[in-house]
Amino acid sequence: MTRRVVVTGVGLLTAVGLDTVETWRNLLAGKSGVEPITHFDTTGFAVTIAAEVKGFDPLQFIEKKELKKMGLFIQFALAASQQAVAQSGLQITPDIAERVGVHIGSGIGGFDVIEREHTALLQGGPRKISPFFIPASIVNLAAGHVSIRHGAKGPNSATCTACSSSAHAVGDAFKVIQRSAADVMICGGTEAAITPMGVGGFAAMRALSTRNNEPERASRPFDKERDGFVIGEGAGMLMLEGLDFALQRGAPILAEIVGYGMSGDAFHITAPDETADGAVRAMRATMTDAGILPEQVSYINAHGTSTPYNDRLETLAIKKVFGDHAYKMPVSSTKSMTGHLLGGAGGVEAGITALILRDQIIPPTINLENPDPDCDLDYVPNQARKAEVEYALSNSFGFGGTNAALLLKRYAE
C-alpha cells in the first residue's frame, strides 16, 4: 500500500505578508504587494516596480554574525522554514533527525551577493572578495542552512529548474516520504532576485510589465491588457509528513498531497510550446499519479504569470486536460498579488493551495477587468470565493520547458 503524505505546516513570506497568517489574510482581501522598487536606484531602468518583501527583519530569525554567510534568499528560506516547523509542532530530536530531510528550490540563488562581490572585485581586486561569497550565493545553501538550523539529517537536496524549482522540490519531497526514505521533509522554495541584474535582465527579455505608474494594477493574469509579469521575492515552505508518523504524534493536518507530475516541452529556451503539450502532460501525469479523474479536480492554482503567452497557453492546456469540466472549475492566480517569485513560486503556491483546502475559500485573481477572449475560464475575478474544494491542482512552468504540477486533497481520515 502506498504511504499517504500530509501537510502539517506552511511558512509563507511574501510581498503581502511577513508570515503565513498575514499573507493568507491579504490574499483573501485581494491586496496587491506590487510597489515601486526600493532595493536599488531604478534610474534608467525600463521597469521600476516589483513585489518586494517589506519590513523583513532577519535578526528575528538569524544571529547577526551569521548574516554575512547568507544571501537574502537563504535568509528568506530560514524564516519561512521556521514558521512551517513551528506550525507543525514537531521537535526534531536526535532520535528522528536522520528521518527528517530538506528539499528546497531556487531559480536564481544569491544574485544580490554575486552583484555585491563582483563590484568589490572590480573596485578593489580579488583580495576584496568575501570568503563567504560562494556559500552565501549558491542555490543549495538554502537547504543546507535549513538542515543545519533544524538538525535535519535525512535526504538533503536543492532543485534549480527555473520557475518550476520549488514545485519540483515539493514533489520530490513527497516522493521521498511516499517511498519511506524519510518520515518528514521540510520543502519548498525561495527567491530574492529583485536586484539591478535581475530586474534589468528580465526587462531586457521584455518579460516584465512596464506599468510603472500603476504598480498595484501591473500583475493582471488572464486580462486582455496584461503586458508581462511582475518580479516578486520571498519564500514558501511546507512540512510534509507520512500520515502514519503525523497521526502517531498528533500533528495538525492541513491537507494531503496525493499527486506529482513532470514533463519537458523540448521546444524553446523561454517560450512555451504553442500546443501547450508539456503543460497538458504534466497535469495528466499528476492525476494519474493520484489515481483520480479530471472531473474530480475542484480548483487550480494557475501558474498564471500575467504574460501574454503563458496565460493563453495555460488556459488552452486546462481545456485540453479537463474538457467541459474546465468551465465548471474555478482557476485563480495568486501571482496577481504576490508577483512572480520565479523559483520560489511553486513553494508559495503549494502552501496557499494547502490553506485553500483547509479553509475552503479561494483567493481571487485581482486586476481581471477586461477578460481576454482566449482566456475564458472562471478565474475568480477580484474577490475571494467560498467553495467546496476536494482536490486542488497547483501548476508551475519554467524556462527551458520544464513543467511541474502538484495535486493536493482535502484531508479526511
Query: SS in 3 state form for 198-238?
Result: HHHHHHHCCCECCCCCCHHHCCCCCECCCCCECEECEEEEE
Share of the chain above pLDDT 90, in %: 98
Q: Which of 103, 145, 168, 303 is catalytic?
A: 303
Q: Does the pTM exceed 0.85?
A: yes
Q: Is the pLDDT of residue 271 over 90?
A: no
Q: What pLDDT score does 201 carry?
A: 98
- Structural domains of the chain, with CATH: 5-248 (3.40.47.10), 260-409 (3.40.47.10)
Q: What pLDDT score does 226 carry?
A: 98
Q: Which of 103, 150, 340, 375 is catalytic?
A: 340
Q: What pLDDT score does 196 carry?
A: 98
Q: Is the pLDDT of residue 320 over 90?
A: yes
The answer to whether the CB of 153 falls within 8 A of the CB of 147 is: yes
Tens digits of per-residue pLDDT, 345-359? 999 999 999 999 999
Separation between Cα atoms, residue 282 and residue 276, nearest integer Å: 10
Q: What pLDDT score does 246 carry?
A: 98
Report the half-sphere exposure of 57 (CA within 13 A, side-chain side). Answer: 2
Tell me, yes or no, if 160 is annotated catalytic.
no
Tell me, yes or no, if 325 is annotated catalytic.
no
Tens digits of per-residue pLDDT, 60-112? 999 999 999 999 999 999 999 999 999 999 999 999 999 999 999 999 999 99
Tell me, yes or no, if 187 is annotated catalytic.
no
What is the pLDDT of the chain when averaged over all its residues? Answer: 97
Q: Name the pLDDT band for 55 (thresholds 50, 70, 90).
A: very high
Q: Which of 103, 145, 150, 163 is catalytic?
A: 163
Exposed / middle / buried, residue 56 (Cβ in 10 Å: 0-12, 13-18, 19+): middle
Tens digits of per-residue pLDDT, 1-33? 689 999 999 999 999 999 999 999 999 999 999
Q: What pLDDT score does 356 carry?
A: 98
Q: What pLDDT score does 62 carry?
A: 95
Cβ neighbors of 44 (< 8 A, separation 6 or more) are: none
Tens digits of per-residue pLDDT, 195-213? 999 999 999 999 999 999 9
Q: What pLDDT score does 162 carry?
A: 97
